[in-house]
Structure 1
Amino acid sequence: MKMTIYSCETHINHALDVFVAREGEFPIMELLSDDKKLSTSCTYCEEAALYIVANK
């Protein structure tokens, strides 16, 4: 099962910690494309997401 977390600048460290704790491996972390930034909010707050943290 693929785990995906969307994160703003404020929550990126938390997102990485949660991912490693749940999955037991380091994720890929990528910047969202400009069109995705407009429509995607952070998993942890209402801010616009800047990053996607997911399985390799």
Structure 2
Amino acid sequence: MIYCCEEHVDLAIDTIVDEFETFPLLSKVEAEDLSTTCEYCQNRAIYVVANE
């Protein structure tokens, strides 16, 4: 599971596809996780990209 901002969503999707060879699931960050930061930069995460 990768938390990412708008700018890095493509990179997160590519990472999941490369690592797990499966179609990733893309969802918005839930209200309780609003303080979570992007794993590629320090911006606020907007999306969660996961393999399950």
TM-score (norm 2): 0.90
Equivalent residues, number: 52
Runs of 4+ in 1 over 6 A off after TM superposition: none
Identity score, percent: 38
Give me the CA root mean square deviation.
0.9
Taking structure 1 as the reference length, the TM-score comes to 0.85
Once the two structures are superposed, residues 8-55 of structure 1 have per-residue CA deviations (whole angstroms, 9 ceiling, x without a partner) of 000000100011001100111100123312x20001000000000112
Give unpaired runs (5+ residues) of structure 1: none
Equivalent residue runs for 1:16-55 within 5 Å:
16-37=13-34, 39-55=35-51
| Aligned mates of 2:51, 2:14 — CA distance in 1 | 14
Q: Which runs of 5+ in 2 are unaligned?
A: none
